[in-house]
């Protein structure tokens, strides 16, 4: 198997500048300059697996691109993957197509809460978690994560219990967590489960990063905690992050409980999600059936990139610290040692390091003093990122 992995190289990748890639197109708008290397939005500057591209090319031999349903074989490929890789079983009837996790999250909020009712969000977290709640006029119930001296984040269960009232209806769980990179242990998730069962709270589990977990850590799907968990859980999963397929706009939501499924479908049908594109269907199925080896090789490469960044942080410990990572390709960098305000910190990365990152404050006030860096890059581009940041840190260190 290890020999087989050597056929995948991530030393270089296709250039995305000039390809209408979002992270490049929006540089001027977001950073005020084209002169930054963008490492913010969570897709990879790494080529999508060849087996996926080949499946699309094969589909294009048929000249009609009309409406299509997601084929059962595509859903079954994902179901088989989830069973094999994560030991969780879903049925075909559980599955819904969605073009994005954020769209699924909006639909879940509409389905299981009313205006003014509470939705729990555990900050710092991917911004659409709290934006979705506020845009839909629900009450934002913030249950911030705690962070120890080693930079490891944990749930604050006592705070969670204290924040819940009879109008709290839904918890948005990020697992694995973006941006702090945690893979929640089974025992941690069981604590969340018990609280939610006690208060009749539905759980929307965003598990889009489930396949990007580094050894020895292992992802535990929330629905895998047992039948009681399955009865209150919606699981959002997909190929976008795992296989760098965000541009295909296809993901799924798995809802084993019939009552929850029917409530979700009422809100789902109002939006008219339809069934996606014919090209996304074949790409989705091919990824789950044929790209396992590619993913194994990718994770080795990603961790090497993370290690490059971590090594740099150790050279400048008074300025930056990289939060220990267990999953995702998103580094959560503690820059509080630099003594800069959030706007000044963002300016430092843009003007001095010439890098476009996500400011930590955008993930909630608990992210103040942090920056998020996407290290899903080729080896060559990652080396450039590290060099740019080192030049900037060396300059301010005198």
pLDDT at 39: 98
Q: How is residue 61 annotated by DSSP?
A: T
Q: What is the mean pLDDT of residues 155-184?
A: 98
C-alpha separations of 213 from 187, 259, 326 in Å: 18, 32, 6
In this structure, are residues 346 and 340 in contact, taking their beta carbons and an 8 Å threshold?
A: no
Task: Give the architecture (CATH level 2) of 54-290.
Answer: 3-Layer(aba) Sandwich (3.40)
pLDDT in tens, 202-229: 999 999 999 999 999 999 999 999 999 9
**Every domain of the chain and the residues it spans:** 2-49+292-397, 54-290
C-alpha separations of 52 from 46, 58, 132 in Å: 14, 10, 31
Q: What is the mean pLDDT of residues 319-338?
A: 97
DSSP H stretches of helix in the chain: 2-5, 22-25, 27-31, 50-59, 72-86, 101-112, 128-135, 157-163, 186-198, 227-230, 258-271, 278-290, 292-315, 342-347, 379-397
Sort residue 86 into left (φ over 0), alpha (ψ -120 to 50) or beta.
Answer: alpha
Q: What is the mean pLDDT of residues 322-327?
A: 97
**What percent of the chain has a predicted confidence (pLDDT) above 90?**
96
What is the model's pTM? 0.96
pLDDT in tens, 281-324: 999 999 999 999 999 999 999 999 999 999 999 999 999 999 99
Question: Domain 2-49+292-397 classified CATH 1.10.10.10?
Answer: no
Rounded to whole angstroms, how far apart are CA atoms 362 and 93? Answer: 37
pLDDT in tens, 65-84: 999 999 999 999 999 999 99
Q: Measured in Å, how far apart are the chain's first and last C-alpha atoms?
A: 48
């Amino acid at each position: 198997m290890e020999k087989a992995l050597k056929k995948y190289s991530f030393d270089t990748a296709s250039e995305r500048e000039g390809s209408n890639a979002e992270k490049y197109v929006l540089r001027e708008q977001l950073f005020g300059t084209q002169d930054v290397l963008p490492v913010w939005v969570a897709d990879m500057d790494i080529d999508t697996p060849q087996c996926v591209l080949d499946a699309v090319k094969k589909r294009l031999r048929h000249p009609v691109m009309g409406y299509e349903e997601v084929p059962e074989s595509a859903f079954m490929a994902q179901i088989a993957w989830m069973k094999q890789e994560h030991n969780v079983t879903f049925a075909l009837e559980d599955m819904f197509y969605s073009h994005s996790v954020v769209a699924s999250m909006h639909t879940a909020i509409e389905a299981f809460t009313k205006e003014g009712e509470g939705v729990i969000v555990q900050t710092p977290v991917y911004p659409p978690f709290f934006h979705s709640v506020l845009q839909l006029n629900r009450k934002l119930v913030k249950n911030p994560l705690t962070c120890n001296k080693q930079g490891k984040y944990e749930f604050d269960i006592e705070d969670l219990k204290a924040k819940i009232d009879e109008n709290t209806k839904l918890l948005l769980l990020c697992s694995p967590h973006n941006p702090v990179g945690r893979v929640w242990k089974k025992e941690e998730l069981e604590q969340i489960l018990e609280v939610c069962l006690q208060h009749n709270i539905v759980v929307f589990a965003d598990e889009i990063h489930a396949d990007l977990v580094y050894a020895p850590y292992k992802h535990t799907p929330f629905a895998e905690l047992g039948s009681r968990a399955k009865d209150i859980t919606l699981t959002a999963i997909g190929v976008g992050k795992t296989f760098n397929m965000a541009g295909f706009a296809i993901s799924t939501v798995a809802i084993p409980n019939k009552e929850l499924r029917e409530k979700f479908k009422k809100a789902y049908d109002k939006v008219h999600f339809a069934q996606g594109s014919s090209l996304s269907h074949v790409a989705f199925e091919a990824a789950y059936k044929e790209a396992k080896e590619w993913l194994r090789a990718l994770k080795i490469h990603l961790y090497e990139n993370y290690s490059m960044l971590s090594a740099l942080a150790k050279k400048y410990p008074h300025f930056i610290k990289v939060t220990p990572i267990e999953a995702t390709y998103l580094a959560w960098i503690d820059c509080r040692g630099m003594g800069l305000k959030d706007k000044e910190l963002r300016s430092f990365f843009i003007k001095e390091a010439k890098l476009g990152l996500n400011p930590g404050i955008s993930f909630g006030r608990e992210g103040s003093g942090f920056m998020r860096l996407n290290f899903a890059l080729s080896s060559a581009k990652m080396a450039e990122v590290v060099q740019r940041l080192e030049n900037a840190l060396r300059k301010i260190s005198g």
